[in-house]
Amino acid sequence: MLGFFKRKKKEKVPEHEPGHGKSSYYNLQVREVVKETPDTITIYFDLPDGGISYIPGQFFTLIMDLGGNEIRRAYSLCTCPETDPYPGVTVKRMEGGLMSNHLNDHLKAGDSIKVMEPIGNFTVTVDKELKRHLVLFGGGSGITPLMSIAKSVLHGEKDSQVSLVYGNRDIESIIFKEEIESLEKKYPDNFQVRHVLEKGPENWSGAQGYLTKELIEGYLKEFPDFGAKSTSYYMCGPEGLMNVVTESLEVLGIDHHSVFKESFTTSAVRNEPSAEDGTDVSREVTVIFDDEEFKFVVEPGKTILETALDLDIDLPFSCQSGLCTACRGKCLSGSVKMDETEGLSEEELEEGYVLTCVGHPASDDVKIEIG
C-alpha cells in the first residue's frame, strides 16, 4: 500500500530514541520471509529491545539505500499486535518497483532494515465491550491492513462481527488464503468472507468478474445487520475498487463518517502558485521538530517538506504524496495551502493539521509543529 518517494543520497537521517512521540527509527532484523503468492511476501521482524507497539491497520516505512539513493516505501502491517508474536508487513511486487522487487528477490532472514515507527490513521481501536460490525473491502494487497484489523477485532471483541469482501485476479493471487480460511473456521459465528475473482477456477462457486454495485448491495443484505450506528466500512485496494465501493455506499445512503479508506495512490496534482491563495510569493516558514526550531524560505511551487529536505533538515516523511501522514504537523499560525487533503480526516483538518509534503505557505507567519 501507500506511496513512493526517492531522494538523493545524503547524510544519515538522525536516529531518535523510540517512544518520544516524535518520528523514531528502528533497525529491525528480519526474522522470516514468507512467500504468500508468486509475487508477494510477508516480512516478519524480530522485536527490538523494548518491543514495538502498533495499532491494527498501521504501517511501517522501510528505508533502504538502493542504487545510490535513499528509498522509502510504506508497507502495511498484516499482523495483530495481540496474537502475532512478531510484526509483519506484506510486500507485493510492483511493476518497475525498486524496493518491492528488491525485497521479493533478495531479502532473507538475518538482514537488517531501517524502519520508521508505525504510523497511520486507517486503524481500529479494539474494545472488548463493543458490539459492532466491521465490513471490510479489500483488493489484492489491499488486504494487508484489513487482515490486521480483522484478526484484532475477532480476537478482542467476542460480540462483534467482521465481514470481508475480497477481490483478486485469480485464486493463486489471493494473499492470506489459508489464514482467512482458518479464521473462518475459528470464528464461524463472527466472520464471513466473500471472494470475488476476475477469473475463477472451473469449480469456483463465488462471484466472477469485477466487484460491482450489485454485488456489494447483495453482500450487504446477506451480512448481519447491526444498524447504521454500529456498522463501519473499511476499504483498501486499487482505485477502481475504492471507487465502486465508495459509490455503492453513497447510493445506499451510508454516512461517510462510517467509511474509512486507505489508498495506494493519490491523484494529487501540484497546484500552480497563485496570487488568489497567496502561494505565488516566497515565504518564510517556521517548523518545530524534535524540540528544534527551523526557519527557512519556501519558494513558490515548492512544498514545505521539499524545501526542508533540500536544506538537509530531516523532517519525517514517507509517501511524499499526501497519503500516509508521516509528515503531518499542526499549523500553529498562518495558513497553508495543500495540494491534497485526502490523507487527513475532517477532524484533523478542523484542528489545523497539515501535510508538509503537499503544503505551501499561503501567508507570512506560518508556524508548524511536526507530530
Binding site for ligand FES (CB under 6 A): 3, 317-320, 322-327, 343, 355, 357
Alpha-carbon distance of 87 to 45, in angstroms, equals 6
User: Whole-number minimum distance, CB 174 to ligand FES, in Å?
Assistant: 29
User: Whole-number minimum distance, CB 243 to ligand FES, in Å?
Assistant: 21
User: Whole-number minimum distance, CB 224 to ligand FES, in Å?
Assistant: 35
Cα-to-chain-centroid distance, residue 193: 22
Nearer to ligand FES by Cβ, of 231 and 307: the residue is 307
Grid cell 462510517 in the structure block, residue:
258
Nearer to ligand FES by Cβ, of 79 and 320: the residue is 320
Strands 231-237 and 133-139: parallel
What is the CA angle 100-105-108, rounded to 5? Answer: 100
Alpha-carbon distance of 261 to 246, in angstroms, equals 9
Q: Which of 143, 16, 29, 28 is nearest to 78 (CA)?
A: 143
User: Do 361 and 283 form a contact (C-beta atoms < 8 A)?
Assistant: yes
Nearer to ligand FES by Cβ, of 166 and 317: the residue is 317
The 10 Å CB-count burial string (b at 16+, else e) for 170-187 is eeebbbbbebbeebeeeb
Helix, coil or strand: residue 207: strand
The residue of the chain with the least Cβ separation from ligand FES equals: 357
Phi first, then psi: give them for residue 11, nearest 5 degrees.
Answer: -60, 155
User: Whole-number minimum distance, CB 208 to ligand FES, in Å?
Assistant: 36
Nearer to ligand FES by Cβ, of 3 and 88: the residue is 3
User: Whole-number minimum distance, CB 8 to ligand FES, in Å?
Assistant: 17
Alpha-carbon distance of 370 to 355, in angstroms, equals 9
Helices (H), the chain: 98-106, 143-156, 177-186, 213-222, 239-251, 304-310, 346-350
User: Whole-number minimum distance, CB 229 to ligand FES, in Å?
Assistant: 31
User: Whole-number minimum distance, CB 72 to ligand FES, in Å?
Assistant: 9
Nearer to ligand FES by Cβ, of 144 and 248: the residue is 144
Nearer to ligand FES by Cβ, of 81 and 322: the residue is 322
Nearer to ligand FES by Cβ, of 173 and 266: the residue is 266
